[in-house]
Structure 1
Amino acid sequence: MNYQIKMSRRLQQIDTMIGQSYQHIWDCCCDHGLLGLTLLKRQAADTVHFVDIVPVLLRQLEDDLKTHYGQMQSKSRWQVHCTDVINLPLVEVCENPDSDKHLIVIAGVGGELTISLMTAILSRFSNYPLEFILCPVHHNYKVREFLISRQLGLIAESLIIENKRGYEILHVAQNVADPVSTVGSKMWDFSQQAHLDHLHKNIKHYQRIAKNPLTNVQAIIHQYQNLLHRQSVS
């Protein structure tokens, strides 16, 4: 089978960050399913779930899956779910709720929607051993604050620059000791100019917000500036 999958740098990095085998991986807001297809191809999970709310996309994706993976001699299976992410059918597909490991990937949506989806999932499945990989398109600081408030710990994080825009990818889970930082702790490589540019962009963004007298973001600005200071003296 020669089925080529061309992914963006963001999706390639997410794929790289998924190292261990899971019982279930949920590719949420999957669009054309490129990440899930890659994970299915390398058998990263017993079952790869494709989740989106756009029926026409999922019909095409299901046709592709049946064509290229319908007769695969592989332990990996796939399922397609046309549903909102807040309605993930974990209960229906999970044979061993206490031990089956789920990785839920939410990428390519805004930070506020990411928080909303995470709130619903954590509320419904508080007793499940869940891991998340998140890549919001903006509001990274808010997402990180939310993760801290819900006591999620950091497994890994990465900063990817694509089309001159920085994307922060977070791999988090419950019962992980390493804390999430509001401004990032493991993702920065200040030997790369692109990382410095992303940091300066964040500072300028909150400096613009600070011009509104009704906002108080000075503490956020200081946290980002402290990263610059640590970089300059290292």
Structure 2
Amino acid sequence: MKLSQRLSHLQAMVDGPYQHIWDCCCDHGLLGAALLRQEAATNVHFVDIIPGIMQSLQGKLERFFPPTTGASRWQVHCMDVAKLPLADYPSETPHLVIIAGVGGELTGELVSAIQQRADALGQEIEFLLCPVHHTYQLRERLDILRLRYFDERLISENKRCYELLHVARRGERPITAIGDNLWSQAPFELQQAYLRRLLKHYHQVIRGSKQEQKPLLERAISDYQAQLDLLSA
């Protein structure tokens, strides 16, 4: 099956080869399967918590990617993404963990839990992230975790905008509140539409927010408005 534009962009951002890639919240496993074909990793792990989906995926992988030398290049894990069994797969090179298609707040919680497990093992780890919303909150969480970015992109698919981030402790640049490189790469019309959509969203959210949430929301509105003003100058 052909990859969506969003998954194709994520595939293009995988600068392997890695020893282990974890396709988390993988749903039907399309991205992980594409990375298997690409031979982007020695082992590709498919992770989701829904048993029915994982059983179906297991059958498809056995059909299209059968073991050729007695050892499979893929594993299926039906489990909580926050509890990845990194200890079972030690590696001298970084693992790549891909988390796409879930909200920014949940993405931040998962990254925090996985990074904590990796730190306890002394295992280097990288993350390739594509949240569906709340990227401002996610970026703040990533900065607190002392992660830095290798690459970030802004794309559009089916009239929705997505931020894609490749981050790690050993990343090359600091993570900023609203992004840096993604504004210089995306088309002007896409940037403008995305910023206006974000501002509309945060203005709506802040009206019904709790007092302790307002400072972050006010910062988000201020930062996104400043970027829109810069574009319009």
| TM-score between both structures, scaled by the size of structure 1 | 0.89
The CA RMSD measured in Å over matched residues stands at 2.0
In the alignment, does 2:208 pair up with 1:226?
A: no
Q: How does 1:74-113 map to 2 (within 5 A)?
A: 77-94=73-90, 96=91, 99-113=92-106
1:195 Cα shift? 2.2
1:119 Cα shift? 1.6
What does the per-residue CA deviation read over 1:35-81, in whole Å, with 9 as the maximum and x for residues that have no partner? 000000010001000011111111111111111110447x9811111
Tell me if the contact between 1:27 and 1:36 (Cα under 8 Å) persists in the aligned partners.
yes
Query: Structure 1 unaligned runs (5+)?
Result: none
1:176 Cα shift? 2.3
What does the per-residue CA deviation read over 1:133-155, in whole Å, with 9 as the maximum and x for residues that have no partner? 11111111000000011110011
Q: Distance in 2 between matches of 1:219 and 1:66?
A: 49
Q: How does 1:130-145 map to 2 (within 5 A)?
A: 130-145=125-140
Secondary structure at the residue paired with 1:187?
Answer: helix
- 1:128 maps to 123
Secondary structure at the residue paired with 1:35?
Answer: helix
Q: Relative to structure 1, is the Cα distance of residues 84 and 210 closer, same or farther in structure 2, using a 3 angstrom cutoff?
A: closer
Q: Relative to structure 1, is the Cα distance of residues 159 and 76 closer, same or farther in structure 2, using a 3 angstrom cutoff?
A: farther
Tell me if the contact between 1:190 and 1:196 (Cα under 8 Å) persists in the aligned partners.
no
* Moved segments of 4+, more than 4 Å: none
Q: How does 1:14-53 map to 2 (within 5 A)?
A: 14-53=10-49
Q: Relative to structure 1, is the Cα distance of residues 57 and 229 closer, same or farther in structure 2, using a 3 angstrom cutoff?
A: same
In the alignment, does 2:171 pair up with 1:171?
A: no
- 2:141 maps to 146
1:190 Cα shift? 5.8
Q: Relative to structure 1, is the Cα distance of residues 72 and 198 closer, same or farther in structure 2, using a 3 angstrom cutoff?
A: farther
- 2:182 maps to 187
| Number of aligned residues | 226
Query: Structure 2 unaligned runs (5+)?
Result: none
Greater percentage in helix: 2
1:203 Cα shift? 1.5
Secondary structure at the residue paired with 1:125?
Answer: helix
Percent of aligned pairs sharing the same letter: 44
- 1:200 maps to 196
| TM-score between both structures, scaled by the size of structure 2 | 0.90
Q: How does 1:56-75 map to 2 (within 5 A)?
A: 56-72=52-68
